[in-house]
């Protein structure tokens, strides 16, 4: 099986699912790759969230309130809401192997949204869809 390209991996991020390949390319241009050694804390629970990370290589664990909640692998991501609201991190993410992520920072992402109302509109529609699904699940 061929590995997914970084653009294809971005397209599988829930928030970005409705975007065209060209729009995903615009987001990709705003991002940069970062490497983290095994044992490094990539983001810390409680800190201000200012970045989104898409795991390109390696594995990381998600730790909330001192408990390991999940293991993240290539193609998985965290921090997508931080791109918009810069709210506090709800968990720490720690590299369990050497990890490479594609990183988007909030201020660059927001500047791109200011320049591209079409992408902004698509992201708003995706948020609305997710809220409706969540409400449906909780009310039935």
- Nearest-Å Rg of the Cα atoms of the chain is 15
42 burial level (CB within 10 Å; 0-12, 13-18, 19+): buried
Q: Which residues contact 89 (CB under 8 A, 6 or more apart)?
A: 43, 44, 45, 46, 47, 48, 49, 79, 82
Query: Would the pTM of this model clear 0.85, i.e. be above it?
Result: yes
Residue 115 domain flag: yes
Report how far residue 132's alpha carbon sits from residue 13's, in angstroms, rounded to the nearest whole number: 18
CATH number of the domain encompassing residue 102: 2.60.120.10
Residue 96 domain flag: yes
Residue 38 domain flag: yes
Residue 117 domain flag: yes
How many domains would you assign to the chain?
Answer: 1
Helix (H) or strand (E) holding 54, with range, is: strand 51-57
How crowded is residue 96: how many other Cβ atoms within 10 Å of its Cβ? 16
pLDDT tens-place values along the chain, 140 residues long:
345 789 999 999 988 988 999 999 999 999 999 999 999 999 999 999 999 999 999 999 999 999 999 999 999 999 988 888 888 999 999 999 999 999 999 999 999 999 999 999 998 888 888 788 877 765 55
List the domain range (segments joined by +) for residue 11. Answer: 6-139
Residue 1 domain flag: no
Residue 33 domain flag: yes
Residue 65 domain flag: yes
């Amino acid at each position: 099986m061929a590995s997914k390209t970084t653009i294809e991996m971005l397209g599988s991020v829930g928030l970005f699912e409705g975007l065209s390949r060209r729009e995903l390319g615009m987001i990709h241009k705003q991002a940069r790759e970062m490497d983290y050694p095994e044992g490094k804390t990539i983001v810390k629970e409680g800190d201000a969230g200012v970045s989104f990370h898409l795991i390109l290589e390696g594995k990381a664990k998600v730790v909330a309130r001192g408990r390991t909640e999940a293991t993240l692998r290539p193609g998985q991501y965290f921090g997508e809401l931080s791109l918009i609201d810069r709210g506090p991190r709800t968990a720490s993410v720690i590299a369990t192997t050497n990890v490479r992520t594609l990183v988007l920072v909030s201020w660059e992402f927001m500047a791109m949204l200011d320049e591209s109302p079409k992408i902004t509109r698509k992201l708003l529609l995706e948020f609305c869809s997710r809220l409706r699904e969540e409400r449906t699940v909780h009310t039935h």
